């Protein structure tokens, strides 16, 4: 059984940690066209609260990707799914990772807590009945949210649930997803739709039948997470998963040896085999533009000057959990960017630096803008606005 060691096995810096992450995540050397599913699997999912940004996250890692490629993987090939997952937020997962997540997800079931049940005026038995009703209603034919809710309310005979189930937050649909009862299907116009994942994917998607199996599945997912987010502290792993208590137990089930390292005063975890890679990695690389909610940004340490100065923190991590598109320069957050629309479909990528960049960084952003323009199929030009 893998165990961490103390004192830390190695000391490193945040620029080295983030440089290794960028390489592991395919941001420095992108995958070739056609490797979308491999990339999503390598990342253990992409954040998909905003679908257009999930597509840009994929495009940041796959050369020549187009939005139609993502849609084909979801709705035609069914190699990817959109579902409530880590932190009970929407993600794109591979079909295989959905099965693993559903086994591991017991620790995310908040509906067992008295406070949750009081708020929604439910019992555990009542919630379980709703989840089963959702599963019974769905098949491989997409149903809109209204259709699902009407079918469930009719079955469980609790009319007061209708408004709660129609919200966009997935109050009851999220728990059903964690039990392997629901994933998104192709939308009907502007109306989101859902399907039963087992029917849709042609494979059984079922939760764990015992806590140990769930912990083992969490351990496997955490091992993969640490492969692309080396140097994460236990708190960071817990933030990614959605609960530190479950992570503490699952770390004892990680199927690879882990060691503890010191990252400028923070104790982080890495695969034992990655210590040498951390020691040799060079932070310098071409500047990159990463979209909103990008996993690289989501999993950064908070308010660490060598990563993102505290003064600039709120420009990236904004109210209501919004994560702004960022410029990455040599493993550090060097600014933010946004697309500003112009006339006749043209537009600009407006970049706002946080500090004075090294020479050549601006020129390195030009091919990044061209790549985004090609993905969006619209003309874009780069505009860097002055510091301060």
Structure tokens that stand for 323 in this block: 């994560």
- In this structure, are 97 and 22 located in the same domain? yes
The torsion defined by the Cα of 121, 125, 130 and 135, in degrees rounded to 10, comes to 160
CA atoms within 13 A on the CB side of 314: 2
Quick one: which of 291, 290, 284, 305 has its CA closest to 360?
Answer: 284
User: Phi and psi dihedrals of 240, rounded to 5?
Assistant: -65, -45
- In this structure, are 378 and 277 located in the same domain? no
- In this structure, are 181 and 296 located in the same domain? no
- In this structure, are 168 and 296 located in the same domain? no
User: Phi and psi dihedrals of 216, rounded to 5?
Assistant: -65, -40
Report the phi/psi class of residue 5: left, alpha or beta, with left for phi > 0 and alpha for psi in -120 to 50. beta
Q: What stretches of 50-166 show up as alpha helix (H) in DSSP?
A: 51-59, 67-71, 95-104, 114-119, 124-137, 145-156, 161-165
- In this structure, are 363 and 263 located in the same domain? no
Q: Which of 258, 282, 306 is the last residue of a domain?
A: 282
Overall residue count recorded for the chain in this entry: 388
Residue with tokens 């809710």: 149
**353 close to 335: Cβ distance less than 8 angstroms:** yes
CA atoms within 13 A on the CB side of 371: 21
Give the C-alpha distances (Å, rounded to integers) separating 97 from 92, 104, 284, 287, 387.
10, 10, 33, 31, 42
Nearest-angstrom CA–CA distance, 68 and 224: 28
pLDDT (tens place) for every residue of the chain, 388 residues total: 555 445 777 899 999 999 999 999 999 999 998 999 999 999 999 999 999 999 999 999 999 999 999 999 999 999 999 999 998 899 999 999 999 999 999 888 888 899 989 988 889 999 999 999 999 999 999 999 999 999 999 999 888 888 888 876 778 899 999 999 999 999 988 899 999 999 999 999 999 888 899 999 999 999 999 999 999 999 999 999 998 888 888 999 999 999 999 999 999 999 999 999 999 998 888 899 999 999 999 999 988 988 998 899 999 999 888 999 999 998 889 999 999 997 766 799 999 999 999 989 999 999 999 999 999 999 999 999 976 5
Give the C-alpha distances (Å, rounded to integers) separating 122 from 114, 125, 135, 160.
9, 8, 19, 11
139 CB neighbour count, 10 Å cutoff? 13
Domain count for the chain: 2
The DSSP string of 131-164 is HHHHHHH--SS-EEHHHHHHHHHHHHT-TTHHHH
- In this structure, are 82 and 146 located in the same domain? yes
- In this structure, are 221 and 338 located in the same domain? no
- In this structure, are 213 and 320 located in the same domain? no
Residue 349 domain boundaries: 288-384
Q: What is the pLDDT of residue 160?
A: 82
Quick one: which of 224, 177, 171 has its CA closest to 205?
Answer: 177
Q: Which of 244, 263, 282 is the last residue of a domain?
A: 282
Q: What is the pLDDT of residue 331?
A: 83
Residue with tokens 């029917």: 199
**13 close to 264: Cβ distance less than 8 angstroms:** yes
Q: What is the pLDDT of residue 151?
A: 95
**369 close to 380: Cβ distance less than 8 angstroms:** yes
- In this structure, are 22 and 73 located in the same domain? yes
Q: Which of 241, 266, 282 is the last residue of a domain?
A: 282
- In this structure, are 292 and 276 located in the same domain? no
- In this structure, are 253 and 375 located in the same domain? no
- In this structure, are 307 and 170 located in the same domain? no
């Amino acid at each position: 059984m893998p165990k961490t060691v103390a004192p830390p096995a190695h000391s490193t810096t945040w620029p080295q940690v983030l440089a290794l992450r960028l390489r592991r995540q395919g941001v420095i050397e992108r995958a070739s066209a056609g490797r979308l599913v491999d990339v999503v699997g390598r990342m253990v999912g992409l954040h998909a609260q905003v679908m257009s940004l999930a597509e840009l996250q994929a495009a940041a890692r796959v050369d020549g990707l187009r939005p139609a490629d993502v849609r084909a993987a979801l709705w035609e090939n069914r190699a990817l799914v959109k579902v409530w997952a880590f932190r009970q937020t929407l993600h794109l997962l591979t079909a295989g990772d959905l099965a693993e997540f559903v086994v591991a997800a017991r620790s995310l079931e908040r509906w067992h807590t008295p406070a949750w049940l009081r708020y929604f005026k439910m019992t555990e038995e009542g919630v379980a009945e709703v989840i089963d009703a959702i599963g019974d209603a769905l098949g491989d034919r997409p149903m809109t949210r209204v259709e699902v809710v009407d079918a469930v309310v009719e079955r469980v005979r609790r009319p007061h649930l209708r408004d709660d189930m129609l919200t966009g937050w997935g109050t009851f649909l999220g728990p059903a997803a964690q039990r392997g009862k629901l994933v998104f299907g192709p939308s009907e116009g502007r109306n989101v739709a859902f399907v039963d994942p087992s029917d849709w994917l042609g494979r059984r998607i079922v939760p764990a039948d015992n806590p140990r199996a769930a912990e083992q599945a969490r351990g496997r997912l955490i091992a993969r997470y640490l492969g692309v987010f080396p140097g994460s502290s236990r708190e960071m792993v817990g933030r990614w998963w959605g609960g530190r208590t479950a992570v503490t137990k699952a770390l004892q089930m990680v199927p690879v040896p882990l060691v503890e390292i010191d990252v400028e005063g923070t104790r982080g975890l890495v695969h034992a085999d990655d210590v040498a890679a951390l020691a040799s990695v060079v932070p310098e690389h071409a500047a990159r533009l990463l979209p909103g909610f990008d996993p690289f940004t989501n999993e950064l340490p908070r308010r660490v000057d060598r990563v993102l100065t505290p003064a600039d923190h709120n420009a990236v991590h904004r109210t209501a959990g919004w994560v702004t598109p960022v410029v990455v320069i040599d493993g550090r957050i060097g600014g933010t960017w946004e697309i500003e629309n112009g006339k006749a479909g043209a537009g600009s990528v407006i970049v706002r630096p946080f500090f004075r960049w090294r020479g050549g960084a601006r020129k390195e952003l030009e091919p990044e803008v061209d790549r985004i323009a090609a993905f969006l199929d619209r003309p874009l030009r780069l505009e860097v606005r002055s510091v301060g």
